[in-house]
Structures are given as C-alpha cells and as structure tokens.
C-alpha cells in the first residue's frame, strides 16, 4: 500500500513533501507525530480488533479544531456481503489454502440464484464478474470486517466526543430524510427526531448504503461560513465532473426562472432539486471563479444599487443560493488565506 501511495505521490511531484512512516495507527499516540489539521482514514477502522481503540488513537493526534475524514462499511447495505461471508466460512471450513478458498468463492458466486441477497443488490459490488482474486478475498473472505449502521457510527463518535459534521458529497442526499419521505405527514413525523435518528430512518428506508463516508470534528461549528467576506466560493471537482457549472451558467443566461438539475447518485438514485433564479443569484453564479471572495462578489453585485438595504438583501440571497449548491458540495468555500486548493 505504501509503495502504491508513493508512486501516486511521485506522479504528482509530491513524494518529497510527504513524511512516509510504516506503522500501525494504534501506535500514533506515542509516535511523536502530529497534531494534525486533517486525518483521512478510509476503510481501515472496521478491519481492526477494536475500531474504538483505533478512533481513539487517531483522535489523540488531531488538533483541537482539526477534522477527520472517515469511511466505515455500512451494515444494512452490505447484508448480501455478510451472508456470503458466512456462507463461505461454512464451505471453507477446514480449508486453509487461500487459492482454494478463492476458487470456491468464485464457483459459488457464478451459481448464485436470484433469491440470494447479494444478487438482490447488484449495486453492492458493481460488476462482480470483474472482481480480481484480491478483491474476492477482501470482500468475501476477510477475517475481520465489522459493519456500522448510522446509529452505530454516532455511538462510535460519541465515545471520543466527536461530532459528525456531514456525510460526503452527493451521497449526503441518501441520509436526508426529505429525499426519502416525500409526503408531508411522514416528513413532519421524522422532522421531530434528532438528526441521527432522521438519518437512521433514511438509511433503513433506502437499505442500500454500503459505506458511510463522513467528516467528524470535536466542534459543531466547523463548516465554512458563506457570510465570511474572506471566503472564496468554487465549483467542486464533483460539480465539474457532471458539467454543473456550464449547466447553471447556461440557465442563468437564459430567460428560465428555475434551474432544475438532476444528478445520478450511487445505487441508481437520481437527485433533483430546484433553484429559483433571481437577479442576484444569476450574477452570483457567473462570479464564482475560485478567485473572488464573497465580499468582492457581493460588492460587485451591489455596485450600482442605491438602496441602503441592498447590501444585506444581496448577502441573504447569495447565502440562500450557496446553501442549496453546498448541500451536496457542488460549491465549496475556502478562505482566501489558504493557497492552492481552488479545485477541491
């Protein structure tokens, strides 16, 4: 893994800028490393004997205002995988040769009936014909693999007094009860619940969340503030990859009153939302270039307006629009003092 990471860093000219250490994350507390602003730990904690000890070790080297980016396997979305793991433990009982275990797994995979849970969730492992031996071992024969429901994710974080900031990117919609429950009555019921139970309800509704990707921090107010005049809005790589900036700029340049994008999220889900267009957000969208700050953008929009309330009004309309665009990280904010991250 370290060799591959080094190769990737080399390709980007970053190898010498990184301190490379080969050690268990459990040794971090006494390592002399850190404290860190940001710790990324994707797909690792659920393979440890004690994920809680792993998280404690990571948190011990996190700055007070730092953040963690974590990925943990999802309990319900991976139901088919865990049934397959159980099945292969039965079949491979007494067999210790990895090659034979993988061959047995391939044979079972090739003959699964449509009633099998793995077959019922084809999105779970994508095109499983294309899995190589290492992937088959990792998914179906892993000896240590402990999944998490949304509530179990929160329990794990509670032990370290960590706050779940947000789930990541467009998948955030899958945790949003308003996308799951469309009727007003149901929405009212679920709205009464604390956030973690709202998200748990959405998880149970979809049933397909096979991994939880999220940010965590010690503080609850770590999200960048669109009202900070020194923050710079920028369309994210995610937005660019689906052609969103062009789509919204084309729409605001036309006479349309509403921008209505729809995005193909994972698990065959389509997210769509409406953004009502007005004189202010038509300009805002054109001014988002990853260089100009919110203060500069608002000044540009208000220049020419002579009403004393114009400034506050423009700030409000800009923040409303950014809230919609930031909901799924289509637009992100960075402080003008932070260089070189204009394409997160």
Q: Return residues touching ligand SAM (CB under 6 A).
A: 1, 24-26, 42-44, 47-48
CB of 279 to ligand SAM, least distance (A): 44
CB of 134 to ligand SAM, least distance (A): 10
CB of 44 to ligand SAM, least distance (A): 4
Query: 142 or 343, CB closer to ligand SAM?
Result: 142
Q: Which residues are within 8 A (CB) of 154 and not within 5 positions of it... i.e. 6 or more apart?
A: 164, 196
* Edge-to-edge strand list for the sheet holding 36-42: 36-42, 62-73, 211-217, 163-167
DSSP lists the bridge partners of residue 335 as: 231
Contact by Cβ (8 Å): 56, 151: no
CB of 32 to ligand SAM, least distance (A): 17
CB atoms within 10 A of CB 342: 14
Query: 145 or 166, CB closer to ligand SAM?
Result: 145
Query: 24 or 83, CB closer to ligand SAM?
Result: 24
Residue among 196, 324, 327, 211 at smallest CA distance from 267: 211
CB of 297 to ligand SAM, least distance (A): 36
Contact by Cβ (8 Å): 305, 313: no
**Encoded tokens for 6:** 């080094």
- Residue keyed to tokens 């294309």: 130
Query: 5 or 191, CB closer to ligand SAM?
Result: 5
Query: 7 or 24, CB closer to ligand SAM?
Result: 24
């Amino acid at each position: 893994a370290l060799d591959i990471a080094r190769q990737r860093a080399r390709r980007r000219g970053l190898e010498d800028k990184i301190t490379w250490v080969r050690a268990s994350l459990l040794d971090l507390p006494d390592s002399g490393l850190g404290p860190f602003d940001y710790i990324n730990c994707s797909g690792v904690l659920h393979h440890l004997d004690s994920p809680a000890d792993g998280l404690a070790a990571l948190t011990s080297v996190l700055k007070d205002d730092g953040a963690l980016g974590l990925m943990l396997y999802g309990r319900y979305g991976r139901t088919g995988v865990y049934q397959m793991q159980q099945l292969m433990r039965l079949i491979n009982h007494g067999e210790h040769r990895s090659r034979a275990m993988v061959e047995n797994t391939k044979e079972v995979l090739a003959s699964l009936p449509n009633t099998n849970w793995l077959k019922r969730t084809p999105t779970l492992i994508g095109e499983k014909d294309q899995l190589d031996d290492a992937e088959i071992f990792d998914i179906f024969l892993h000896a240590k693999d402990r999944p998490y429901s949304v509530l179990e994710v929160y329990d794990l974080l509670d032990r370290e007094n960590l706050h779940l900031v947000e789930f990541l990117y467009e998948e955030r919609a899958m945790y949003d009860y308003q996308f799951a429950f469309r009727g007003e009555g149901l929405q009212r019921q679920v709205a009464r619940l604390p956030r973690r139970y709202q998200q748990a309800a959405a998880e149970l509704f979809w049933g397909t969340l096979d991994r939880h990707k999220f940010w965590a921090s010690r503080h609850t107010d770590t999200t960048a503030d669109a009202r900070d005049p020194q923050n710079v809005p920028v369309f994210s790589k995610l937005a660019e990859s689906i052609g969103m900036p062009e789509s919204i700029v084309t729409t605001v340049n036309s006479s349309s009153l509403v921008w209505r994008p729809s995005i193909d999220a994972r698990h065959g889900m389509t997210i769509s939302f409406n953004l009502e267009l007005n004189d202010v957000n038509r300009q805002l969208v054109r001014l988002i270039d990853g260089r100009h700050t919110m203060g500069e953008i608002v000044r540009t929009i208000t220049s020419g307006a002579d009403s004393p309330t114009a400034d506050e009004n423009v700030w409000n309309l800009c923040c409303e629009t950014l809230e919609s665009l930031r909901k799924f990280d289509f637009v992100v904010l960075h402080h003008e003092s932070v260089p070189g991250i204009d394409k997160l």
